[in-house]
Amino acid sequence: MSEPGRVVAHSEHGVGTITFSHPKGNSLPGSLLAQLADAVRKLGADSAARVIVLRSDGKGAFCAGASFAELKTISDVATGKKFFLGFADLMIAMIRCPKFIITRVQGKTVGGGVGILAASDLVVATKDAAVRLSELAVGIGPFVVGPVIEKKIGLAAFSALAVDAGWRDAEWAERHGLHSFVHETVDAVDASVAALADRLAASNPDAMARLKKVFWEGTENWDALLSQRAADSGELVLSEFARKAIAAFS
């Protein structure tokens, strides 16, 4: 069984903080995805938290994407769909959360982690925070996280990320709207996140909740859309191409 990882959430001075960690580059097994979605929903319903900060642990990658260890264990379509539905559930929880979510990024982000960035309201990152959609390279495709990324950065930029499957630096991510702010150091990122969180914690909760609905207007059918996308991914992950590619990457 793969390492489940850990999610810790707390609220202080109007700011809810969610920190996730996993020894494999802060990758995302199904259990960790479920914990993250649950933490977002709980802080979204907590009146003591008026803004949410999402972050990962450590000094390396922000998120290595889907857990390859878990992908290797998928042996049927139903199990595959269930795994990818974990990403769908997290995306839906984030965009429907009535609180703004500020995501703090200290390093590289891959695959499903890019979906987390796109589903955030603000992303504050270091200059080393490159991004990559690696799904096509392993025979799948960014089907579940695709809608949220496309809505955030547009079809052309999403297509470039999805088709090329190479790295894009933090400057590219900021230029296309995936990163909101890019700073030279982690300390500068932390200072920026703290200042933003404090300012938003003092803002009108109702106004922020209404703005959040405006930002994600038009996503009302995403439960069905992402469920179908998860089914597509669940089928593709069982292909001979994907099995060989996942084995080679892991």
What pLDDT score does 3 carry?
72
pTM as predicted: 0.96
Q: Which two tokens stand for residue 69?
A: 């260890």
Separation between Cα atoms, residue 72 and residue 63, nearest integer Å: 19
pLDDT tens, the chain, 250 aa long: 457 789 999 999 999 999 999 999 999 999 999 999 999 999 999 999 999 999 999 999 999 999 998 999 999 999 999 999 999 999 999 999 999 999 999 999 999 999 999 999 999 999 999 999 999 999 999 999 999 999 999 999 999 999 998 999 999 999 999 999 999 999 999 999 999 999 999 999 999 999 999 999 999 999 999 999 999 999 999 999 999 988 887 5
Type of residue found at 101: I
The answer to whether 131 and 114 are in contact (CB under 8 A) is: yes
Tabulate helix, strand, coil % of the chain (nearest 5). Answer: 50, 15, 30
Residue 107 is encoded by which pair of tokens?
């390093």
Written as one string, the DSSP assignment of 179-194 is -SEEESSHHHHHHHHH
Tokens describing residue 185: 């150091």
Query: Cα separation of 21 and 7, whole Å?
Result: 7
Q: Which domains does the chain have, with CATH numbers?
A: 6-201 (3.90.226.10)
Q: How many residues does the chain have?
A: 250
Q: Could you give the CA distance from residue 37 to residue 33 in angstroms, rounded to a whole number?
A: 6
What pLDDT score was predicted for residue 1?
46
